[in-house]
Amino acid sequence: MIKQIKSQYEGMGFVEALIAIMVVGASSVVLMQIAARTLQDMIQNETIDTMTQYAVEGATMVQNVAMQEKFTGEDVFPNPDNNIDNCYVIDKDSENNYFFRLGEPRFKTYRLEARDTYKEEALVAGDADELFFRIYCIENYISTDRYIIVKVVVGQSNSGATNAGSITRGENVKDYTYFTVVNL
């Protein structure tokens, strides 16, 4: 009789150990999911921060081109009267001067909706990994004050065609849009 009670007791210890292992395993899975989600959020926040920096830098570039036209009299800024809602790419020459990319008839224009036509051409200079593009769109022109509202759009060049730039999922985030007022 004592031998039988001892066997049952040893069996209960084994079951308790199995239950403890299952509880620890389940809690480990939950903790790993939380850690993975946190890392993904951290990567997205870092990406959004980088895109914000590129957008603010882009707004400064547009203002520099406008100032160059104002001070030198050169035709280096697109005429906003004719080009509202057109988008442009800014390049830098060997002397670190910024300029809008030339095309036919004067400036090369893009449509914001035609993402695949410009995302490779508008890569951010200085981005060694070529992960981001930057494009400038003239949104509104206020003729009496000679001010113009420019939308700077920064996006990820590796995002696919489906919902590209409009959703935040996985490693990709939606395009960052930054508005600035440029004095002409």
- Output the pLDDT for position 127: 74
For 72, counting Cβ atoms within 10 Å of its Cβ (0-12 exposed, 13-18 middle, 19+ buried), the class is exposed
Q: Among residues 134, 142, 149, 131, which one has the least CA distance to residue 100?
A: 134
Task: Please check the confidence at residue 88 and state whether its pLDDT lies above 70.
Answer: yes
From the CB of residue 134, how many other CB atoms can be counted at a distance below 10 Å?
24
In angstroms, the CA 39 to CA 16 distance is: 35
Average confidence (pLDDT) over 49-69: 90
Q: For all residues of the chain together, what is the average pLDDT?
A: 80
Looking at per-residue confidence, does 20 or 162 come out higher? 20
In angstroms, the CA 118 to CA 12 distance is: 68
Q: What count of Cα atoms within 13 Å lies in the side-chain half-sphere of residue 93? A: 8
Length of the chain, please? Answer: 184
Q: Which residues pair with 183 in a beta bridge?
A: 147
- Output the pLDDT for position 52: 93
Average confidence (pLDDT) over 24-30: 92
Looking at per-residue confidence, does 181 or 75 come out higher? 181
Quickly tell me which residue has 């508005």 as its tokens: 179
